[in-house]
Structure 1
Amino acid sequence: MPLRRTVRPLLRDPVNTLAGLARQARGEVVRLNLGPFRPYLVSHPDHVQHVLRGDWENHPREGVFWKPVERLAGRSILTEGPDWESSRRILQPLFTARYVASLAQDMAETIDKELTAWEAYAREGRWIDICEELARLVSRIVIRVLFGDKISVADAERLAPAYAIAATSFTSRLLVPFAPEWFPMPGDRAFRRAVEVIDDVVLPLVRQARRDPGDGNDIISALARARADEDGPAAERRIRDDLVSIYGASGETTAVALTWLWPLLHDHPEVAARLYEEVEIVVGRGPVDASCLPRLTYLKSVFQEMLRLYPPGWMMPRMALRANLLGDVPIEPGSTLLISPYVTQRLEEFWDRPDEFDPERFAVDRRERRHRYAYFPFGGGPHLCIGQHLFYMEAPLIVAGILARFRPQVRAPRPLTPFPGASMRPRETVEVRLEPVAGGAGA
């Protein structure tokens, strides 16, 4: 694709532009001419599987697109090589399905407490920024169940917005990835200030845990115990990087993903009505708890379809170490490969009516056989996101808890434009007004 056809659309709406280019190419490999930078857009499930799984060691998470991530999260579970292997070995036991299930009751209690505070919004008839409120709610959950309540409420109020700023302020560097780090770009100053706030909250926790790791199951203690034999600033930095990475993967992405849900329900009242009915039958008017989750089957289908259309981890770039072929296209060493669930999950060759929101695609009795890598909102291969079990525990507890109390009314412009930060959130503000359910906990 020549420079004249790519630059302006990519600067205006990069996410949908990439999806449109892949659709025009019917999933074939596309090379983008961006002047000094010429990445390959890889969208066919066969090619995605080859890069993420079949030949993953030749396609590490390195290159220009990972530089901003490293500035935030350092060399951690979000990177590659020995640092990733070490972090994954330590953290994986804390994200198994069984261990996450053991956290469900604490999650439910935290959600119930936080949603009780939302009742004031309902009484006032106040419009709230739902992404901001969800980020605050999810942050409280993550701090309790993963961080052992070792972050104070005051620090939590600083951490969530700082992380949101850090995750969105390097967008200019994503759009102009070949710009050298020393060259000032829009958002750089906000990014640095946000990282300073994050470090101001996280580093004292790391230093305290290194002095006294304790025997708790929280992530801070687990990392400190696992790295007890490592000395010096490097060990402190590795723990810090993993904590920042996990906070983002378990908090930021869940809040951003659920922000898309409310406009979808507003625009599809038949889906909303069916979902409300399921919550009324399964949860009733009381607080939600973990025992409800297996019966919230339609809610799970809604989430799966929401993640098909709006995966928060929208871009998973890789770099080719050695020359290889994708289909019949030769890939040179050092090339950047752009892989996006948002793009692949909207290809007409693999999805009927790909732009329509239809949770029935994922109904248990209608689930279609499709390519394993036609749908990969949590990535794939060895770098499959360790937080997916947490999402499918945390997200339904949050949404079922909200719908047991309230009927959200939505105010947001249409169409919503995906904003290409670390997680894909709407560029526009999504506002919600909470109407109490008659006879419910929030009435």
Structure 2
Amino acid sequence: MIRPHVVPFYRAIPRLVKDPITELARMATDAAGQVVRLDLGPFRPYLISHPDHVQQVLKTDWTNFVRAGMFWQPLQRLIGQSIMGEGEAWASARKILQPLFTARYTAALAEDMADIIAERIVELDDFARTGRPIDVEHQMTSIVNQAVIQLLFGGRITRDTAERLAPEFATCASSIGFRMLFPSAPYSIRVPGDRAFLRSTKKIHEIVDPLIERARREKAGGKDVVSALLTARLGQGGDADVRQIRDDLVNVYGAASENTAMSLMWLWTVLHDHPEVNARLQEEVDRVVGGGPVRPSHVAEMPYIRMVLQEVVRIYPSAWVVPRQTVADTEIGGVRIKAGSQVLISPYATHRLEEFWPRPTEFDPERWANEKTGSRHRYSFIPFGAGPHVCLGQHLFYIEASLLIANLFTRYRPALPYPQKLTPVLGAATLRPKEKLFLQLHPIERNLAA
């Protein structure tokens, strides 16, 4: 039997309070990917980062590692029981939602997404003409939000209503930090972030519930997700419970919008720091799209955009920690782990293991060139999870993000007027930067004059 690397209490607590994302990754890399046990007093989770161990937890022995326990409890106040849960609720939601997020179905939706994104990018022309920089978080989130809302609700939601959803989800993601760092804190008392989280959760429900009721009254089929959910759940002989469908939609919305918007936040600092990558990206868009509208068919012809996006989500995976709880006694990497233990997978750490990623902290899209990816461990790259619980929206992410980037580059030459180092928000549910970021859009005259 192998003993895990142990980070003692007096070292673990100060490091995690200071910077949980970076420090978890450092603990994993210091242990060369072997199992680490964190001594946090009465709470002693195991940190998992080696791809072999990730494969065991997420794929080969996945039924023994469930999404339950104290790390999931804070988030379940928002997401309820659906695709991000376990058991029958998960299985039912997965069966309904999986066909809606295949590459083929996503491609069918991409035409509408392309129109929405193109229209929203044109609205930025005034910023380009006047030289005012855009607030990257606000604009990226707003554009992604509208595209995702169209996917979920079709034409049943106004833009003003849609705009109200994004900040509430952002509040939920960023106010959960205390409970993520101290998951054993009792729910009988309010801790920092609780009031903001619960207030935003209530507002999200107040926006989504009427939309579901409206769709149910209309009984109109469509490509949007709420129509598909209603049809499927009614077809199963159910009552199309509003709460269940709301849980489904909240799960999908959170994954589809938050992950894409935050990845696009990190992108611009990377492009500033690597002008050669920026230039090659611009060249590819100019060559494939030219000055015309960006269509989904262009995406397949722009492999470098995908390589850049893959490298962005490698270095900045939105899901920086993936908690699981063991059902039965087991072993990981020769380390004995008892039933009921908490296991933390860190994609942020896995993506920084030198054994699998030469120069792991260096941004290098070339590592995704086709000839270089064949021998890589399949579970060394897990920004969307893996196994039966793999994120359904990964095809959507690459199409949506590619369309947004290409549309920006066909009209403007984006640049950072105030370059700065971005640092993650401490303890947020997703990897999101703490600092405000602004982007200057230098106009390409042929487009602004059109």
The CA deviation string for residues 163-221 of structure 1, in whole angstroms up to 9 with x for no partner, is: 11112111111011111112211111111121121111101112223333322121111
- Secondary structure, aligned partner of 2:56: helix
Among 361, 364, 370, the residue aligned to 2:370: 364
Letter in structure 1 aligned against 2:71: F
Residue 66 of structure 1 corresponds to which residue in structure 2?
72
Residue 416 of structure 1 corresponds to which residue in structure 2?
423
Partners of 2:74 and 2:123 in 1: how far apart? Answer: 36
**TM-score, normalised on structure 2?**
0.95
Partners of 2:306 and 2:44 in 1: how far apart? Answer: 39
Partners of 1:79 and 1:44 in 2: how far apart? Answer: 24
- Does residue 138 of structure 2 align to residue 132 of structure 1? yes
Partners of 2:198 and 2:218 in 1: how far apart? Answer: 30
CA distance 1:414–1:48, shift in 2 (3 Å)? same
The answer as to whether partners of 1:6 and 1:32 remain within 8 angstroms in 2 is yes
The answer as to whether partners of 2:422 and 2:434 remain within 8 angstroms in 1 is no
The answer as to whether partners of 1:282 and 1:295 remain within 8 angstroms in 2 is yes
Among 432, 435, 449, the residue aligned to 1:425: 432
Number of residues paired by the alignment?
441
Shift of 1:368: 4.9
Residue 230 of structure 1 corresponds to which residue in structure 2?
238
Matches within 5 A, 1:48-59: 48-59=54-65
Shift of 1:415: 4.9
Among 27, 32, 48, the residue aligned to 1:26: 32
Shift of 1:419: 4.4
Partners of 2:239 and 2:302 in 1: how far apart? Answer: 47
Among 356, 360, 378, the residue aligned to 1:354: 360
Partners of 2:445 and 2:395 in 1: how far apart? Answer: 33
- Does residue 437 of structure 2 align to residue 434 of structure 1? no
The answer as to whether partners of 1:287 and 1:401 remain within 8 angstroms in 2 is yes
The answer as to whether partners of 1:15 and 1:419 remain within 8 angstroms in 2 is yes
Residue 103 of structure 1 corresponds to which residue in structure 2?
109
Q: Structure 2: which 5+ runs fail to align?
A: 1-6
Residue 326 of structure 1 corresponds to which residue in structure 2?
332
- Does residue 196 of structure 2 align to residue 190 of structure 1? yes
Residue 171 of structure 1 corresponds to which residue in structure 2?
177
Shift of 1:365: 3.4
The CA deviation string for residues 121-173 of structure 1, in whole angstroms up to 9 with x for no partner, is: 21222222212211110111112233212111111121111111112111111
Residue 156 of structure 1 corresponds to which residue in structure 2?
162
Among 249, 257, 262, the residue aligned to 1:256: 262
- Does residue 224 of structure 2 align to residue 214 of structure 1? no
Residue 45 of structure 1 corresponds to which residue in structure 2?
51
Letter in structure 2 aligned against 1:136: S
Among 198, 208, 211, the residue aligned to 1:202: 208
Partners of 2:246 and 2:127 in 1: how far apart? Answer: 35
Letter in structure 1 aligned against 2:106: V
- Does residue 253 of structure 2 align to residue 247 of structure 1? yes
The answer as to whether partners of 1:287 and 1:441 remain within 8 angstroms in 2 is no
CA distance 1:415–1:146, shift in 2 (3 Å)? closer
The answer as to whether partners of 1:169 and 1:191 remain within 8 angstroms in 2 is yes
Partners of 1:217 and 1:275 in 2: how far apart? Answer: 32
Residue 77 of structure 1 corresponds to which residue in structure 2?
83
- Does residue 314 of structure 2 align to residue 308 of structure 1? yes
Among 7, 16, 20, the residue aligned to 2:22: 16
The answer as to whether partners of 2:146 and 2:163 remain within 8 angstroms in 1 is no
Shift of 1:442: 7.4
**TM-score, normalised on structure 1?**
0.96
The answer as to whether partners of 1:419 and 1:426 remain within 8 angstroms in 2 is no
The CA deviation string for residues 371-407 of structure 1, in whole angstroms up to 9 with x for no partner, is: 1111111110100111011111111011111111112
- Secondary structure, aligned partner of 1:333: coil
Letter in structure 2 aligned against 1:122: A
The answer as to whether partners of 2:151 and 2:225 remain within 8 angstroms in 1 is no
The answer as to whether partners of 1:316 and 1:339 remain within 8 angstroms in 2 is yes
RMSD value, Cα = 1.5
- Secondary structure, aligned partner of 2:440: strand
The CA deviation string for residues 219-277 of structure 1, in whole angstroms up to 9 with x for no partner, is: 11111222223348xx2211011111111111111101111100000001111111111
The CA deviation string for residues 27-73 of structure 1, in whole angstroms up to 9 with x for no partner, is: 00000011121100001110110000010000011111111221111
Partners of 1:321 and 1:172 in 2: how far apart? Answer: 26
Partners of 2:207 and 2:419 in 1: how far apart? Answer: 33
Q: Structure 1: which 5+ runs fail to align?
A: none
Matches within 5 A, 1:85-100: 85-100=91-106
